[in-house]
Amino acid sequence: MPLLVDGYNLLYAFQQSRWGSDRVGRTALCRLLGDWTDSRSEPVTVVFDGAKPPDLLAKQLGDPRITVLYSGLRTADHVLVELIEGSTAPRRLRVVTGDHEIRAAAVRREAVAIQPAEFCAELCRPEVAEAGPPQGCERPEVAAGGDLEHWLGEFGYDPASEPGFEHP
């Protein structure tokens, strides 16, 4: 089933999920969607609000395995509703969004509407990528207290030798 994605809506949900981080941006999200499309052999179109960046930057931010659209002067919501309404096979569509207007358009055309948080879980399942979860789905380990001191010592950092901070 072709997948339509409300880009910033999914990005926000991913950043808030147990797999995400506020350091995940458009590039990482597009790579995850590219991994997903590889594992499912289903086309993905993601729509982001705003103007398309210059071609070289757009290429870096996107992923060649998916279609990335920018809404320009309109909203991504408007573009997604147009894509749903213009689909020749809307019952085959899966639409990832939390936006009520887009979800209503999907339901009217009998497409499947998926909440972003629900899709985040699907996106980060181990079977999506052959070698486990896609890059970016793992939370980084936080150094334990003893580890921190060990590594600071390894790199020669001594907090006692640092000058104090004086506020003017």
Q: How confident is the model at residue 1 (pLDDT cuts 50, 70, 90)?
A: confident
CB within 8 A of 90, min separation 6: which ones?
84, 106, 109, 110, 111
Averaged pLDDT, 115-140: 64
Averaged pLDDT, 25-44: 91
**Is the pLDDT assigned to residue 167 strictly greater than 60?**
no
- CA nearest to 99, candidates 76, 71, 69, 124: 76
Q: How confident is the model at residue 152 (pLDDT cuts 50, 70, 90)?
A: low
Domain ranges (residues) in the chain: 3-141
CB contact at 8 A, 32 and 134 = yes
If one looks up domain 3-141 in CATH, what number appears? 3.40.50
Q: How far is Cα 167 from Cα 33, in angstroms, rounded to an integer?
A: 47
CB within 8 A of 106, min separation 6: which ones?
84, 90, 93, 95, 97, 112, 113
Q: How confident is the model at residue 104 (pLDDT cuts 50, 70, 90)?
A: very high
Amino acid, single-letter form, for residue 112 = V
pLDDT in tens, 47-81: 999 999 999 898 989 999 999 999 999 999 999 99
* Secondary structure percentages of the chain, helix, strand, coil, to 5: 45, 10, 40
- Identify the pLDDT of residue 16: 83
Q: What does pLDDT average to over the chain?
A: 83
Q: How confident is the model at residue 84 (pLDDT cuts 50, 70, 90)?
A: very high
The DSSP code sequence of 97-122 is: ---HHHHHHHHHTTPEEE-HHHHHHH
CB contact at 8 A, 81 and 105 = yes
Of all residues in the chain, the percent with pLDDT exceeding 70 is 74
- CA nearest to 96, candidates 22, 41, 42, 19: 42
Structure tokens at 10: 């999914």
CA geometry: angle 65, 69, 75, nearest 5 deg: 150
Structure tokens at 81: 């509703």
